[in-house]
Structure 1
């Protein structure tokens, strides 16, 4: 039961985190690691022949893993840090405007509530009460005008670490069979496609797409990337040879 009104049913549901600092970079990092490294390995395998193929693939795969993971981490850190700093700048600007013109900002907030369907008198009263506390007023204005929560800005460090680890794990998957002694592309390709299917299926847990659709989409994109780079590697390798 609802503790505020025993006649109303209790609210018993939770929403997944769709805007946090770790979900997007982790999912993107894992998918990118799987696709980019299986494509890199496929290109090298297609362009090399003989006993040196496995060595070349392992070296290229490890280099791709390290370079990609650091690149993802740096890119995510820079992107999220810039976004958070820009939001913090706008929030501070809003604070200064509230301090300089409290009456005008109170009226502005009331107009926002009226636009949402709140009665005019009630909207002005709510805005007035919120503006009794400057910190609360800043939070409300930031949410209403900027669409951000000052206490929940994305962490660049969390985004960077998440993307680094996710990319490294994803990039290791197609390389693992070679590290365990495989001498052909097929085992790594198969487990990568399975991992891509799982990754795509998991992503649908926070979307409206069926899990089979999400998994199949990732498989098709990954297979296309590997097939194209294998073909390019074969053509380039044959010409260079």
Structure 2
């Protein structure tokens, strides 16, 4: 209809980059810091020692997550940039061949050859490089690698997640420290798993159970190692 505005529907894939980094960071923050606290506490560490270990784990983990995420995502960005640069050069040197290549992609997706050629004509006239990046390379603006965004999201989410078991360590009485940290951390992990599933459009219960199970296993193993070394050293 003339003059009518098109409705642009939001999609969850638009947020997949920062969502993945944020969920991974928060999950690691809770799990690694809680495990570290439990390991030191099970080794009969003092309250101050346990708290210092938790804070040190928070800071070190946040920096490690940021650095690792930046390097990883930057490598992906470098690969994408190299592919786009090569595509740009091919468009300059062999425009006709690139047109046939794009049309063949659309034929493979179900269009008639004549219609595929017409679609390729119009898309290349509008934005040839964008059409090839999207349909040949699978690179879209929503899914482009953003290393700085990923690094900041990872660091902040890790620190936020790690702050929860550190706060419990600071508040809980020494006599119930291990029980308090382990139980609250499992609750935090379950909530995080459910929120991540909801944000991604998946079912809440499987997401929560999956994260909680592996969290309980990791904390149990770490506490066991701490108790073993605490009695033998």
- After TM superposition, is the score higher than 0.5? yes
Equivalent residues in 2 for 1:1-241, closer than 5 Å: 3=1, 13-17=9-13, 20-48=16-44, 53-133=46-126, 136-149=127-140, 153-180=144-171, 182-183=173-174, 184-207=177-200, 209-240=202-233
Q: What is the CA distance between 1:150 and its match in structure 2? A: 5.4
Q: What is the CA distance between 1:128 and its match in structure 2? A: 2.2
Q: What is the CA distance between 1:153 and its match in structure 2? A: 2.0
Q: What is the CA distance between 1:207 and its match in structure 2? A: 4.5
Q: Relative to 1, partners in 2 of residues 1:230 and 1:216: Cα closer, same or farther, differing over 3 Å?
A: same
Conserved 8 A contact 2:38-2:181: no
Q: Provide the aligned C-alpha RMSD in A.
A: 2.2
Q: What is the CA distance between 1:55 and its match in structure 2? A: 1.1
Q: What is the CA distance between 1:228 and its match in structure 2? A: 1.1
**Alpha-carbon distance between aligned partners in 1 of 2:37 and 2:196, rounded to the nearest angstrom:** 25
Q: Which runs of 5+ in 2 are unaligned?
A: none
**Alpha-carbon distance between aligned partners in 2 of 1:109 and 1:21, rounded to the nearest angstrom:** 27
Superposed CA offset, 1:88-116 (max 9, x none): 11101101101100111111111111111
TM-score, normalised via structure 1 length: 0.88
Q: Relative to 1, partners in 2 of residues 1:20 and 1:218: Cα closer, same or farther, differing over 3 Å?
A: closer
Q: Relative to 1, partners in 2 of residues 1:15 and 1:151: Cα closer, same or farther, differing over 3 Å?
A: closer
Q: Which runs of 5+ in 1 are unaligned?
A: none
Superposed CA offset, 1:16-42 (max 9, x none): 136643111100000011111111111
Alignment coverage as a number of residue pairs: 230
Structure (1 or 2) with the greater helix fraction: 2
